[in-house]
Amino acid sequence: MEFWNKLPLNSIQKKVYRKLSMEDVFKLEIARYKRGITTFENWIDELKHVPGLIDAVQISPRNIPSPSKYGQLVHHLSSENIKAYFLDLVAECMRYKMIDCKIIIWDGRFLESYCSKNKNKKLKAFSDNEAGKHKHVGKYKGVGYVDSSFICAKHDLPIYYESHPANRNDNIIFRETFTNHQALSFPSSTMLIASAGPYSKKSLDLVYFHGIIPLIFTRKNIKKNVIQVATRKCINISRVPSEMIRHLSRLLNMRTNIERDFSPAKVVYHVNRMNTVSYT
């Protein structure tokens, strides 16, 4: 949490963060997510009336803000600061050998926006104007974003993420995220595992160009250089060393572990309260 105390405040933030610091508000938001509270009104109500909760978050009862004030405090944390804090935690995990980046796993999760599912006829956009309609395997899932993440397989810890409108193609999302991830000064990777969403020759070539073995599940219509590694799961082995092929099933189980780890996560953001407005 030292990160938040060292941040220089701009003139607006100095006026906003008087009774509560940025560190206080960040801790409150983490506590809200963990308790699964979906609205700021309900969260402030819990802070006031749930015995022991205010002590757990280490905030003075006199400093509990109104819901509207709390929304303002959260907004001014800024997405840039939150992402910088995330990368600071990743660097700390690397120092303690918890992240090595040898095997990285890409995963894309749909985040449904808490907004109207119909476009404004005049603006020709959703009330959350950066969101997009999402389809998975031909089925409409809602309006929102795709959380495009890379995870280190050593301890299933996330190392990089981006958010994209959900109507964008998985291939484009994957390649942009991968390129931006590679631009960071992270340890080099030897292998990348991903679902079939970003499968394409261009994606395979991009990963392989960086000296990384691409283990991306193939689409159903791909037949050349393909072997089956599990029920309805196939891999293009044209860029896979022959000695690794017999270990593919075990290696690819790592992605199943990631889905199991993150599937219970559920977070809600209100459209008029946050920079990012979604629930998963």
What pLDDT sits at residue 91? 96
Rg (CA), the chain: 21
pLDDT at 126: 81
Tokens representing 74?
């959260």
What is the predicted pLDDT for the residue at 1? 77
What pLDDT, on the 0 to 100 scale, is given for residue 269? 43
210 phi/psi in degrees, rounded to 5: -90, 15
CA dihedral 37, 38, 39, 41 (to 10 degrees): -30
3-class SS of residue 89: helix
Neighbouring C-beta atoms of residue 117, cutoff 10 Å? 14
Distance separating alpha carbons of residues 210 and 101, to the nearest angstrom: 14
pLDDT the model gives residue 255? 79
pLDDT of residue 277: 41
Q: Quote the pLDDT of residue 109.
A: 87
Tokens (6 digits) for 175: 């390649």
Residues of the chain with pLDDT under 50: 267-280
Q: How much is the pLDDT for 260?
A: 65
- Structure confidence at residue 264 (pLDDT): 55
Nearest alpha-carbon partner for 20 in 53, 50, 51, 60: 60
